Amino acid sequence: MGTLHFVSNGRQTADEFAAICQHIHPYADCIHIREKEKTAREVAAFVTALLRVGVPPQKIIVNDRVDVAAVYGVHGVQLAYHSLPVRAVRRSFPSLTVGCSVHGLAEAKQAEEDGAHFCLFGHIFPTASKPGVLPRGVDLLKEIAAAVHIPVIAIGGIHAGNARRVLEAGAAGVAVLSAIFFAADPVSEAKRLAEIVKGERIK
């Protein structure tokens, strides 16, 4: 089945984020530190907070900050349009898994051509993190997933109630923010998502 990614939302401290991740990381394949407004030192504090509570480094992906990912020896880095080029990162840091955020078919094809290991596509459904911006929807996701050979991870407004729709459209996995980190019971939500995305019955 698919892979499950949990993504920070920029509205929690490193310790708050880590406190939740301590209990939900067993259900995730990847934990993304996506803190766009923070300095390298502040992003590094998120990495060390996760490591301190027992999140394995091979599950941690750092958004944009290749330097932080490389210095702390974590699994990978998620690049955006303003980040370093995929090819350059692959060449200089061959041990890092490199994801690339894309917003359409041409960008997804370019990410694949440049050597990205996977792409993150969204936002699929309406989401509070992008108010007033129309979602790109399941149909475009289906088109992109069929057109590229690298895994396409769907992001944006995804929760246990709609995750199956994106998997049926061809997504290789889902990335979730608010549905986990603002849930009344993050562990229960993580378990529900893991059962849907990974096809596992979790006790």
- Of the candidates 76, 47, 48, 78, the one whose C-alpha atom is nearest the C-alpha of residue 63 is 78
How many DSSP H helices and E strands does the chain contain?
9, 8
Cα(37)–Cα(52) distance, rounded to whole angstroms?
A: 23
Catalytic residues: 123
Strands 118-122 and 97-102: parallel
Which of 81-90's residues contact partners 24+ apart within 8 Å by CB, and which partners?
A: 81/107, 85/114, 86/111, 86/114, 86/115, 86/116, 87/114, 87/115, 90/114, 90/115
Torsion, Cα of 35, 36, 42, 46 (10° steps): 20
